[in-house]
Structure 1
Amino acid sequence: MTTNIQVQPKLEFIPPNFNPLVFQVCEFVLPLWLRSRTTIAEIKAENLDILIDLYQKFQSNKIRFLMAFRHPSVDDPYSLMYLLTKLLPKAAKQQGVSLKKPTIAHFIYDRGIPLWAGSSVGWLYSQLGGTPIHRGKLDRAGLRSIRQLFVDGQFPMMASPEGATNGHNEIVSPIEPGIAQMGFWCVEDLLAAKRLEEVFLVPIGIQYYYIDPPWASLEKLLTQLEIDSGLSQSSTLEIATPDGMKFTSEKEAILYKRLYRLGFHILKLMEDFYTKFYHKTPPEISPDSVSNPSELLFLRLEALLDTALKVAEESFNIPTKGNVIDRCRKLEQTGWDWIYREDIKNLEALSPLEKGLADRIAEEASLRMWHMRLVESFVAVTGKYVYEKPSVERFAETTLLLWDMLTRIKGGNPFKRPKLGKQRVEMAIENPLSVSSRWDTYKASRRKAVNDLTQDLQTALEKLIIKNP
């Protein structure tokens, strides 16, 4: 894979600048966008009365709150905008509650999104009241903006505590403590201003279900992945169907075997790749030491992801420290530091030699970050996901993650995923978690208060997952 990455000036902060006209245009085109650019055909929400009450109190200056939403899909922003601009006002009207328009939120987004989605997206997010944050470093400008909006913004806040999409309907990635810390900062700033508003975090669940099970599309995609990975139909690798697994048809059982066979095949190719070219030999895991193929797949995948991160960390001279998500964020920020150079005040003043060296470093950084991007795509993969419940949604999510990986390796755009079929979106609002009531605990031990609130938020988001049979 080739790259034409060149050195860039430092990433500037994109200040939020809500524009009512831009919002009205987006609100108008949202239904058309959903129909034409996504697979979403229907959006429903439960417990809207909780959100109605919160917005009513917010607009009466009684509370401040942040909506912490699950992030399984890149389509989540459209689903959430539909929730706030369509479903919420409609439900409020039915209850005889008058809410001031617009019922939207200031949202926190990753500063990296405009880098791959285009600078126009950064402009649009700013006009819609969004504020960016660098995920891998102390972003003082971003944190100042978040704190100011949480305390004084004209709308509530919204953010994903998972930090990024994880591609899974029924798995919540380990959430980051930043959301809890933001809540306590808001309490602190309100007390300093002698204001009496109470602060809440509001868990919101989002799940996607196929209206018609797209088994035919899945089979076609799986066949293409087998071809792209060089897996022949005559492969001798056999996957036994575990005892107790329930399939609705023999065809599903065959697809299960093909999916796992493909997974093991890609794993072997990637293990050989890192062994041969990066001198990283994965640990030997005997099939006899595990109870089923899914456990073996998980252990080997976990070792492969660790290997890929170590390759990138060694090339950047970064110590291996923290969990997988922490390591990904650190690698991402280091790569950005090599591309978007804060130490170069004026790129135009560089000599041709200096510019050439800076371009070389930027190019190398992009290539080294490629290993991290592979890991990022699979950070929530357990290997047991389909084994535990062979639903069409779990089949599709796992197959699409494999498509992401192969697409990245081939040098394609992983954000242009195949559309397997129309989906309905089910959202649910959980009872809010009071941050203000934990203030005394925070004063006694900040770390304990943040950790406890983070764990309670994790539990609440997991509780919102609908375990459809």
Structure 2
Amino acid sequence: MPTVAARAQPPLAFIPPQFNPVVLQSLRYVMPWWIRWRTHLAQIQAEDVERLVSAYQQFQAGQTRVLIAFRHPSPDDAFCLAYLLWYLLPQKARRLKGAIAGTPHIHFIYDRGIPLWAGQWLGWLYSRLGGTPIQRGKVDIMGLRSARQLFVNGQFPLAAAPEGANNGHSEVVSPLEPGIAQLGFWCVEDLRKAQREQAVMILPLGIQYHYVQPPWQAVAQLLTQLEAESGLSHAIEAGQMQRLAAPLRERYPLPEVATALYARLLRLGEHLLSQMENYYREFYHVALSPLEATADDFNTHLAQRLDRLLSAALAVAEAYFKVTPQGSVIDRCRRIEQAGWDWIYRDELQADKAVSAVERGLADRIAEEASLRMWHMRLVESFVAVTGRYVLEKPTVERFAETVLLLRDTVARIQGRNPFPRPQLGRQRVQMRLGEPLFVSDRATAYRQNRRQAVADLTADLQAALERLILP
């Protein structure tokens, strides 16, 4: 998450991919150590890797162009993807006696904003690994041209997260952005123009996290911390606990620790919602009238209030930047982000242009203001995948932990802190699954007849394919 910009900056420069095999081999050598140092991943496994072996063999034989569309539930996904490609894939190929030349690798698309908050060194590293950046909130001509070129002519398959950003949920796929489907059809067109007979394949990849040992105590401790920071006591009245935990008790034979945590989780969520509703009501004059709650569906009530609050938060930022509120929540977030960047990264501040001290000072004030207004959008980003019934539908420790961590992100942002890196609640194992490939080439006729519908259909099919990869 970008922090408040102290000063206006020159325009964001495009970071061209500059693949360096020495960087790849160096990183491959240290990756197991880096995973142990930077993550709590105890085990990384993958199913149906033979599909990836086949895709690489076809790619290297010049028969296909391949895009790996991977789920993005966590910041640790990059480590998992690297481990899959550099270790699990070659092992599987050797067992199948299938030849894969060299070290399996990918070109990949990443958000241009990542180096802004994670460090400029990461932009350098991603570039040398063959990555290409994209600015998500506008028609990024250079970014799209680079991704399109890599898909058609890159020396490796391309990889991208069609959800656009990590959503914090192992078992919920956020609405997909249409860019992956569009890239697929562009690749088909570009190959046809070049009179190349290669097929275009999108290979879905699911990524799911599980705790090795259920970290109930760590979840409870983090919840206690959030309650204290939010002005709540961790003690909860017996009557309130009975009322809030009743829907869970009626469905599942859970231990008392789980039902107690569930009641506290709902209470904290409702408390934070009330605080934020009052905040927008009082200081931004947003009309948020009380919603009637039914005793038998408190979760749905909270979800309705959350949806309304997120829309109100986006409206505050949209009004400031004069951005028209249209499309999905994700679409609205991207346009706000780009509007803020346009006010922070200014054309008139390029090195070859003279700027007076007063002009510089005014630009800095605008940059500060834009960053503060983008805060509303960052708040919304954390909750894109929240449904209000995630824990109730399946009260596993993973779903408890993911929900508490999202609330922790919100509390951190409210206090003006960067929520990353997140606290580690326990050792995790990762399960990846390769899905059946989607052949974009087979849809070329449909695309020529109705481009928008073909892109929408492929996006919907990819969404369904990724959802099927979630383990029950």
**TM-score bin (small chain):** over 0.9
Report the equivalent of 1:425. 430
Q: Is the 8 A contact 1:280 1:307 kept in 2?
A: yes
Report the equivalent of 1:182. 183
Paired residue type of 2:261? L
Distance 1:234 1:276, change over 3 A: farther
Paired residue type of 1:265? H
Report the equivalent of 2:402. 397
Q: TM-score, normalised on structure 1? A: 0.97
Between the aligned partners of 2:160 and 2:375, the Cα distance in structure 1 is 26
Q: Is the 8 A contact 1:183 1:199 kept in 2?
A: yes
Paired residue type of 2:262? Y
Q: Matched residue of 1:382: which SS?
A: coil
Report the equivalent of 1:148. 149
Deviation of the 1:29 alpha carbon: 1.0
Between the aligned partners of 1:123 and 1:215, the Cα distance in structure 2 is 39
Report the equivalent of 1:54. 55
**Cα deviations across residues 304-338 of structure 1 (Å, max 9, x unaligned)?**
10110011111111111111000000000000000
Q: Is the 8 A contact 1:133 1:143 kept in 2?
A: yes
Segments of structure 1 that go 5 or more residues without pairing to the other structure are none
Report the equivalent of 1:285. 291
Report the equivalent of 2:43. 42
Between the aligned partners of 2:321 and 2:149, the Cα distance in structure 1 is 35
Deviation of the 1:240 alpha carbon: 3.9
Q: Matched residue of 1:80: which SS?
A: helix
Deviation of the 1:348 alpha carbon: 6.3
Deviation of the 1:440 alpha carbon: 0.5
Between the aligned partners of 2:109 and 2:355, the Cα distance in structure 1 is 35
Report the equivalent of 2:278. 272
Report the equivalent of 1:259. 265
Are 2:309 and 1:304 aligned?
yes
Are 2:319 and 1:319 aligned?
no
Q: TM-score, normalised on structure 2? A: 0.96
Q: Matched residue of 1:170: which SS?
A: coil
**Cα deviations across residues 203-259 of structure 1 (Å, max 9, x unaligned)?**
000000000000010111000000000012466665242163314311111011011
Q: Matched residue of 1:108: which SS?
A: strand
Deviation of the 1:4 alpha carbon: 5.1
Q: Is the 8 A contact 2:108 2:158 kept in 1?
A: yes
Report the equivalent of 1:460. 465
Distance 1:337 1:347, change over 3 A: farther
Report the equivalent of 1:71. 72
Paired residue type of 1:155? F
Are 2:173 and 1:172 aligned?
yes
Paired residue type of 2:256? E
Between the aligned partners of 1:392 and 1:23, the Cα distance in structure 2 is 36
Report the equivalent of 1:295. 300
Between the aligned partners of 1:160 and 1:16, the Cα distance in structure 2 is 18
Paired residue type of 2:90? P
Between the aligned partners of 1:53 and 1:227, the Cα distance in structure 2 is 53
Between the aligned partners of 2:323 and 2:67, the Cα distance in structure 1 is 34
Paired residue type of 2:411? L
Q: Is the 8 A contact 1:271 1:281 kept in 2?
A: no
Q: Is the 8 A contact 2:206 2:434 kept in 1?
A: yes
Report the equivalent of 2:217. 216
Q: Matched residue of 2:15: which SS?
A: coil
Between the aligned partners of 2:435 and 2:325, the Cα distance in structure 1 is 37
Distance 1:240 1:90, change over 3 A: closer
Between the aligned partners of 2:89 and 2:200, the Cα distance in structure 1 is 21
Between the aligned partners of 1:80 and 1:443, the Cα distance in structure 2 is 34
Q: Aligned-pair RMSD on alpha carbons?
A: 1.3
Between the aligned partners of 2:70 and 2:234, the Cα distance in structure 1 is 42
Distance 1:465 1:234, change over 3 A: closer
Q: Is the 8 A contact 1:5 1:366 kept in 2?
A: no
Deviation of the 1:5 alpha carbon: 2.0
Between the aligned partners of 1:404 and 1:310, the Cα distance in structure 2 is 21
What does 1:101-120 align with in structure 2 at a 5 Å threshold?
101-120=102-121
Between the aligned partners of 1:94 and 1:303, the Cα distance in structure 2 is 53
Between the aligned partners of 2:399 and 2:348, the Cα distance in structure 1 is 46
Distance 1:195 1:325, change over 3 A: same
Count of residues in correspondence between the two structures: 465
Q: 1:408 aligns with which of 413, 419, 432?
A: 413
Q: 1:369 aligns with which of 356, 370, 374?
A: 374
Report the equivalent of 1:246. 252
Q: Matched residue of 1:8: which SS?
A: coil
Q: Matched residue of 1:24: which SS?
A: helix
Q: Is the 8 A contact 1:247 1:390 kept in 2?
A: no
**Cα deviations across residues 345-367 of structure 1 (Å, max 9, x unaligned)?**
44862111100100000000000
Q: Is the 8 A contact 2:9 2:349 kept in 1?
A: no
**Cα deviations across residues 127-152 of structure 1 (Å, max 9, x unaligned)?**
00000011000111111111111011
Distance 1:347 1:356, change over 3 A: farther
Q: Is the 8 A contact 1:347 1:355 kept in 2?
A: no
Between the aligned partners of 1:251 and 1:276, the Cα distance in structure 2 is 37
Q: Matched residue of 2:343: which SS?
A: helix
Between the aligned partners of 2:41 and 2:63, the Cα distance in structure 1 is 35
Paired residue type of 1:141? M
Between the aligned partners of 1:30 and 1:272, the Cα distance in structure 2 is 47
Between the aligned partners of 1:443 and 1:343, the Cα distance in structure 2 is 42
Between the aligned partners of 1:429 and 1:3, the Cα distance in structure 2 is 39
Segments of structure 2 that go 5 or more residues without pairing to the other structure are none
Deviation of the 1:295 alpha carbon: 0.6
Deviation of the 1:166 alpha carbon: 0.3
Q: Matched residue of 1:287: which SS?
A: coil
Distance 1:17 1:264, change over 3 A: same
